[in-house]
Structures are given as C-alpha cells and as structure tokens.
Chains A and B, each alone.
Chain A
Amino acid sequence: MGKPFYLRICGVGGQGSVHLAGTLAAAAVREGISVSVIDRPRSAMRLGPITCDLCLGQEGFAPFIVPGEADAVLGQEPLDGVLNAAYYLKKGGTLVLQSEATPSIGEAVACGMDERRTAWKEKMLRWGCQVVEADASAITGTGRNYYMLGVFLRACPWFPISAAAVEEELAGQAKNLQCLREGMRAAV
C-alpha cells in the first residue's frame, strides 16, 4: 500500500473494541500489510473509556496516532466517538458513529448528554468530515462491534483491508460474521 492509514476505534469497556482491533490487525497480516495496534484501556470495568489505534502500512514503530492525523474514527459510542474525532481526525476524514448513546454515570445524573453530542457533531460537519451514523441497538447480545465494522467498511471504501480478509478472520465466529454482513448491508 502507498500512504499509511490510521484508524482510531473508540468506545467504552464491554463493547468489544479490543476484539475488533485484533481482528483487523490479523486481517492486515493476512493481506501482507504492516500493522501495529495499541490498546488504551482505562480500567477493566464496563463503561470505562477505551481507544485502539490501528496503524496500517506505516514504517517503523510509533503506535499512537498523532492528533489530527487519523484517516478515520470508528466510534462505538457517539459522544466518545465525536470527542476522539475532534482531536484525532484529520480534516476530510471519516467518522463512523454508533448512534445509541451510553451515558457515563455523571451524564446520566445530569441528564445533559444529548446537547453536547449534537454540538460536537455539528462542529465535525463544519470541518468537512464525513459523518456516518448507524444504529446497532437492534442487535441483542454481542456483535454490535462487528455490525459497526460492516458499516465502516462500506463508508470507507479506501480502507486498505478488504472485507473478504475480515470475513476470513471471522471464520468460526458465526454471530460476529453475521453482524458484519448486516452492517455492510445496512450501510448500503
């Protein structure tokens, strides 16, 4: 591949961001693309913020994406996604958001989350970023992360890892594969 591609996956503990990043890294290896991925969890508990930076086609080792240089942000929680994009996404980059919010406990108590989310999203659009929202809440149990990956693969066709390679990595994970395909269909 030519230029490196930088993807930040973000969400909260329990949403499967680390699993998703691992699958993409393995798919990159399968396709012969140099890869590093770094997890940044804040704690093992559910709902703690987590980010995974995926660097594809980069020479050398510098695992964290430099602010303002992410080609895409995949936010599995809308507010966390927008906050990460505001700092890390490059101008003209792609932001894919799972639309169902998971409030932090402070926000749940203050009941003030929606206003902030809308304000940030408008800012992203002003910067010329492509914002794609998808609702994965219809999926019960696990698999929302792969649904969102399916949406992302359709929304970002220049992503260097092919859908076929991701599907190969998911062989034996029927639910995740099904969710990935549903996400790709939904994005169409």
Chain B
Amino acid sequence: MQIPIMQANAAGSVLAYGYEAVARGALEADVKVVSGFPGTPSTGALEALASVAGERGIHVEWATNERVALETAWGAAMDGQRAMCTMNHLGMNVVMDALKYCANYGVTGGMVVFVGDDVGANTSAIESDSRVLACSADVPVLTPCSAEEARRMTRRAFSLSEELGCPVVVRSVCQLMMARTLVDVEVPETVSRPSDFAPNPRRVVMFEPGTMAAVTIHRFLHENLSRAGGLLEEQGYDAAFPGPGSTGIIACGVSYPLVKAAMVRCGVEAPVLKLSVMNPLNERLITGFAASLDRILVFEEGEAYAEEKIQAILGRSRLPASVLGRLSGELPFGGELFVGEIESALRAVYKGERWKAADAAAQDRLFERDLTLCGGCGHMGLFYALRKAMEEVNGGRYLAFSDAGCAFMGILAPAKSITSATNMGGGISFACGAADAGSEVPVFALCGDGGFLHGGVSALAGAVFNRSNIVAVLLDNAALGNTGLQPTGCTGRNAVGQEVPRVDLEGLCRSLGIVHQQTVDPLRLEDTMAAIKTALKAPKPAVIIARQPCVLNRLKAEKQAGHPVRTAAVDPAACRRCGKCGELYCTAIVREGKEAVPSIRADLCSACGMCVELCSGGAIGIKEV
C-alpha cells in the first residue's frame, strides 16, 4: 500500500497520521534498520517504513518481541548505521533491561526508540507512562506537541543520538499519533555510512576487572544528559510565552495545543511554558518562567511526571510558586486529557468555578458494545470446545489463563471461557504458577502464536523442566490479530511481504521435551473437544496446537483468489429451536427472541461451518451469497 507522506520526494505538505510523521522523520534521517513489535499507537510507524523499504533500501522487520527489536536496532547502531525500534507503552516495560545496557554501552550510529503510549488504554489492558521508564535509563526523552514537530524531532533525534553516543527516546500518545493533519515534509538525507562495528571504549571498560567502570559510566550518563540539554535547547522545542497574571501554565507534549485551544474557549490569558523535552527538563527555562509566578498549573499526558520534577526544581531553586496538577487534585489521574477537561481545570483555577467533571456514565455507554471475536474465528471454536469438554469431564470446573491478543477475548462475557489474561507470552507461566500451587482443577494455558514466540517459548521450556501440570493450547492463527494482522514467525511472510519459512511449532515443542502434543483444527469442534480430553490424561505439560488462520486473513485470501462469498443459512422449517448454535456466541447468529428461529447475517458470517456441525436438526447449511 502506498502512503503519501512516505512517497513525497520534494518539500511540501501532506495529510498524514502522527505515526506516519514519525516514520517520515526517520526516512528523512536516512534510517537503515527498523525493528519493532506492534502496539497502538506505534504500529503504523513501522508499517509506513515497510511500505518504502524496498525502494529506499531500509531493512524493516517485525521482531518477535520488543526487547529483540531494541537489540536488533542497537546492533545496527553499533555498526555505525542509523536505526530505530518501535513499540507501545507495554513494550517499553519489556525492553528496559536491554535499554539500560544500550544506554550504558552506547551507540555509534544514531538510534531512536519510538514509543507510543496508549494513554487512556483505548486498545490496551494497562495504562502507563513510558517517560518514567525512559528517564530511569538516563537517556534523552522527547515528546512532540504536533505531528509536524514529531517529524522534525524524530529526524533530529538520530543526529542527537550520534552526538551523545546514546539512544534517544521519542514518546508520543494516541491523541497525536492517531490523528491525521497536514504535515510538512523535507527532502530526505542520503548519507553513506560505512559498516564499522567499532569497539566502544565504554563497552570495553565495562568488563575490566577491579574497576568501578559501571559506576563511572552511570555518572557519565548523567553528565551526558546535561550535554543533551544544551544541544536540545538550541533546537527551540521548549519555549516560554509571556502573559498576564501570576498563575502560569506548563504544557507538555501534545497538551500544549490542547491547552491553547482551551484557553481560547474560556477566555483565559496567562504565561505559558511549552515543554517538549522531558529528559532532561530545562531547569534554566523552568526557573526563569517560575520566578515571577505564584502558581503553576501543569498539563501532561500520563503520570504526574513533569509535575513532580518541576516541584523538585522549584524547591532546589527556593522559588515559592506552588505547582498544581494531578498531585494537587486539579486534574484527574488516569485517562487522556481532552480540551473539555483542560477547560474545566482552567475555569476552576483562574475563575474559581466549580470543577465540571466529564459525564463518565455517558462516556461509558459509548463503549458498552462488547468486544468479541470475529465470526468464524478459530479461537471461538477452541473456547467452545474447552467449555463443553470441561463440562463433560469436570462439571465445568477448570482454570484457563491466556496472554494478551485475541485469546484475551475469552475472558469476556457472555461466554467467559477463560479465568484470567495477562501480558504477551505470560499465560503459560501464569498457568504453571496456578498448577504448581496445587490447583484442584485442570489448568490450561492459552497462547497465540505471536505471544508464544514473544515470551511463551521460554515459559513452556520452564514448564517442561519443572514438570508443571498444565495443558498449553497454542492458538496458531498465523497473525497478531488484535493489533491489525501483523505477521508472526508462523505466518510464512515477513513485514515487507517476503515469503519466509514458518516456525515449526510442532518441532519446537518436541525439542523442548513435550511428550504429548496434538494438532487440531479448532473449527472442528468434536475433534477439538476430543483433543482436550486426551491431553488431560496425557503426561504434563501437554500441548495442543489449535491451528486455523485468522479469519480476516482467510477471507482476504479467498477474495483475492476470486472465490465466491459463502455464508451459513438456516432452514426455518428444519430448525428445532434447540439453541445449540447460540452456544458458540457467534456475532453472525442473531435471534429476535429467546424462542425464535435464529438467522445468520451474511455480512458477518465467514462460512466456517461450526454452527453447521452443532445444529441438531441439520437445519443450517452453507450457501453462496
């Protein structure tokens, strides 16, 4: 797919997403290696770079997890090339070990870590703020206030990384990354950089025996950050704007344009300090801004990160201004900052009006539509088989833990097929813990192919040598479905569309020492139930590989191949109204009332055949649309 902002070869303006602006900045900086793991709102940046990988000579890849992505980018940067890794806030938790090593050892080529925080947890199970983690790695952190600044900042971040010899983090949030606006573009750089994996003195000295090298390097990183502050000040990312009154505003990252809009709406005029550099904070600018103020209201997306640091800076400088924000209760913790909320805070602080809370109940109603699996998803078959098999074997009593991804949907009503869900690859070790603690009911671990390769493999290896009493079900749909169908090692295709060998899950499990494993098609419900019952009696840990391509990819492939569109359909005369088809909880199956004959929505049905298998009266068949 062609993405206009990535195709532009001359200066101009192009309509683009924020994440595409980040990708454009990397392209303009002549990035050579890009590795990432998908997660909203960062996913599109790598996909945008993949769209021009061939013509621009960029190596672009989806890594098996975020740590691998960072290490890959780091290896390229140590070879003197410009490199970037991408992830969302959950991935930032995964990379911290590697990021700290990377910061300590240093880089030679420019290295940018782009992290998109899903503040507001729009598509994530957890809300967190990557600035806090990135700051703890002692590396510069930049947070753009606009898509245009995201492009310029990303481009500059590569050269800054080279000047400092450390990775630079560019962090943004959904409200900027998922928005499309006009973005200026410049002509990309083309600089030939020789491949040169030069020994880095910092890296060598780290392992000299008898030295305090690690401590010395830690001190150096802090000195380096001071140098970064000087270099970044020259860029003018942070700026103070004068205004009347003794209550000022500090707006960080994307909060800056939102605050400006809110100030216009409620007629507030005040001194404003725009901060886009989050590490190191510009102490000189902040103290100069605060010197004549009584109060400062801080707006930022995420934690009270800047608010705390600004309080500390003012304290050290013995400045009397009080700092208001989340910690003082002027703004709520958690969630995104919208213009309406900012306006309420401004009215409360500047005009003494009562805080007008957002109508949370009305907001919740907007999202009361249950998330569910696509009609004909293999996971739906597995969940059905698990529920039914365990009803027959153990009165419906079992524990099942999944990782993130589509398997996560098993936790939701009305089916409630699984007990709990956790981070990518975490379901297996979670289940091991429950089994090791002496669970009295069978314990299942559910893991997608993406999650298995992300971190599940090491958990399953541990389950083997610790003899954990679990049945691990690998839901191999050959895609990271939840984040938009990115390929995994099981897809047979990589980020730039090349055909590649698939990971042999059966062989991998055998090599780990799994004694009992069985591969099934989860759309065949009886077979899947039988496999579950067999696994319960087999030596543990046992593995079931439930293999069925993601239904969205299957439908796409069928369309491209010119296959006729098919759907299941009910013969009302033959329907016994037994309700068995409804036990699948498939969104394509609709009933007008509890006793009504079901109908099947052709536009939502994928002709998977599961309801055909379940129908007691043979009333459901498959037909062409």
Residues of A near any B CB (own CB < 8 A)? 12, 21-22, 25-26, 29, 34-49, 51, 60-64, 66-67, 80, 83-84, 86-87, 102-106, 108-109, 111, 140-141
Docked-complex contact B371 and A29, CB < 8 angstroms: no
Q: A38: which B residues are within 8 A, CB to CB?
A: 175, 178-180
Choose from A37, A49, A67, A106 the contact partner of B180 (Cβ within 8 Å). A37
Q: Answer whether A25 and B180 are a contact pair too, CB < 8 Å, given A46-B552, A140-B625.
A: yes
Docked-complex contact B180 and A87, CB < 8 angstroms: no
In the assembled complex, the Cα of A37 lies from the Cα of B18 at a distance in Å of: 11
Q: Which of B290-312 contact A (CB under 8 A)?
A: none
Docked-complex contact A40 and B122, CB < 8 angstroms: yes
Docked-complex contact A45 and B371, CB < 8 angstroms: yes
> 3 closest pairs, A vs B, by CB?
A62-B261, A61-B257, A38-B179
Docked-complex contact B366 and A84, CB < 8 angstroms: yes
Docked-complex contact B338 and A66, CB < 8 angstroms: yes
- Least Cβ distance of B144 to chain A in Å? 11
- Least Cβ distance of A107 to chain B in Å? 8
In the assembled complex, the Cα of A38 lies from the Cα of B180 at a distance in Å of: 6
In the assembled complex, the Cα of A135 lies from the Cα of B254 at a distance in Å of: 40
In the assembled complex, the Cα of A38 lies from the Cα of B339 at a distance in Å of: 14
Choose from B365, B370, B604 the contact partner of A87 (Cβ within 8 Å). B365
- The residue in chain A whose Cβ has the minimal distance to the Cβ of B367 is A49
Docked-complex contact B414 and A26, CB < 8 angstroms: no
Q: Which of B264, B338, B409 has the most CB of A within 10 A?
A: B338
In the assembled complex, the Cα of A161 lies from the Cα of B181 at a distance in Å of: 16
- The residue in chain A whose Cβ has the minimal distance to the Cβ of B408 is A43
- The residue in chain B whose Cβ has the minimal distance to the Cβ of A69 is B340
Interface status of B167 (Cβ within 8 A of chain A): no
Q: Which of B579-625 contact A (CB under 8 A)?
A: 582, 585, 587, 589-594, 596, 601, 604, 625
In the assembled complex, the Cα of A176 lies from the Cα of B46 at a distance in Å of: 29
Q: Which of A34, A37, A51 has the most CB of B within 10 A?
A: A37
- Least Cβ distance of A78 to chain B in Å? 12
- Least Cβ distance of B398 to chain A in Å? 22
In the assembled complex, the Cα of A14 lies from the Cα of B363 at a distance in Å of: 22
28 example contacts (A-B, Cβ-Cβ < 8 A) are as follows A25-B180, A29-B182, A34-B182, A36-B181, A42-B371, A43-B482, A44-B484, A45-B372, A47-B369, A47-B587, A49-B366, A60-B260, A60-B261, A60-B264, A62-B261, A62-B262, A66-B340, A66-B343, A67-B340, A67-B359, A80-B369, A83-B365, A83-B366, A86-B365, A87-B366, A104-B370, A104-B372, A111-B591
Interface status of B126 (Cβ within 8 A of chain A): no
Docked-complex contact A61 and B370, CB < 8 angstroms: no
Docked-complex contact B371 and A43, CB < 8 angstroms: yes
- Least Cβ distance of B621 to chain A in Å? 20
Interface status of B373 (Cβ within 8 A of chain A): yes
Q: Answer whether A29 and B589 are a contact pair too, CB < 8 Å, given A43-B371, A84-B366.
A: no
Interface status of B406 (Cβ within 8 A of chain A): yes
Interface status of B402 (Cβ within 8 A of chain A): no
Q: Answer whether A86 and B180 are a contact pair too, CB < 8 Å, given A63-B175, A111-B592.
A: no
Choose from A22, A83, A111 the contact partner of B593 (Cβ within 8 Å). A111
Q: Which of B369-399 contact A (CB under 8 A)?
A: 369-375
Q: A51: which B residues are within 8 A, CB to CB?
A: 366
Docked-complex contact B339 and A25, CB < 8 angstroms: no
Q: Answer whether A87 and B363 are a contact pair too, CB < 8 Å, given A49-B369, A66-B340, A104-B369.
A: yes
Q: A105: which B residues are within 8 A, CB to CB?
A: 370, 372, 414, 585, 587
In the assembled complex, the Cα of A159 lies from the Cα of B446 at a distance in Å of: 49
Docked-complex contact A36 and B363, CB < 8 angstroms: no
Choose from B15, B178, B343, B590 the contact partner of A29 (Cβ within 8 Å). B15
Q: Answer whether A67 and B178 are a contact pair too, CB < 8 Å, given A44-B483, A47-B369, A48-B369.
A: no
Interface status of B515 (Cβ within 8 A of chain A): no
Q: Answer whether A44 and B481 are a contact pair too, CB < 8 Å, given A37-B179, A62-B261.
A: yes
Docked-complex contact A44 and B370, CB < 8 angstroms: no
Interface status of B557 (Cβ within 8 A of chain A): no
* Given A35-B15, A36-B181, A111-B596, 18 other A-B residues pairs in contact with their CB atoms under 8 A: A38-B178, A38-B179, A39-B178, A41-B123, A45-B482, A46-B552, A48-B369, A48-B371, A60-B260, A61-B254, A61-B257, A62-B258, A83-B366, A102-B604, A105-B372, A108-B587, A108-B591, A109-B582
Interface status of B285 (Cβ within 8 A of chain A): no
- Least Cβ distance of A50 to chain B in Å? 10
The 8 A CB mask of B547-569 against A (1 = contact, 0 = none) is 00000100000000000010000
Docked-complex contact B367 and A45, CB < 8 angstroms: no
- The residue in chain A whose Cβ has the minimal distance to the Cβ of B14 is A29
- The residue in chain B whose Cβ has the minimal distance to the Cβ of A61 is B257
Interface status of B485 (Cβ within 8 A of chain A): yes
Q: B585: which A residues are within 8 A, CB to CB?
A: 105, 109
Choose from B179, B260, B338, B484 the contact partner of A36 (Cβ within 8 Å). B179
Q: Answer whether A45 and B175 are a contact pair too, CB < 8 Å, given A36-B180, A40-B122, A87-B362.
A: no
Docked-complex contact B257 and A108, CB < 8 angstroms: no
- The residue in chain B whose Cβ has the minimal distance to the Cβ of A106 is B370
Interface status of B413 (Cβ within 8 A of chain A): yes
Docked-complex contact A47 and B180, CB < 8 angstroms: no
Interface status of B348 (Cβ within 8 A of chain A): no
Docked-complex contact B358 and A62, CB < 8 angstroms: no
Docked-complex contact A46 and B179, CB < 8 angstroms: no
Q: Answer whether A43 and B123 are a contact pair too, CB < 8 Å, given A36-B180, A105-B370.
A: yes
Q: B362: which A residues are within 8 A, CB to CB?
A: 67, 86-87
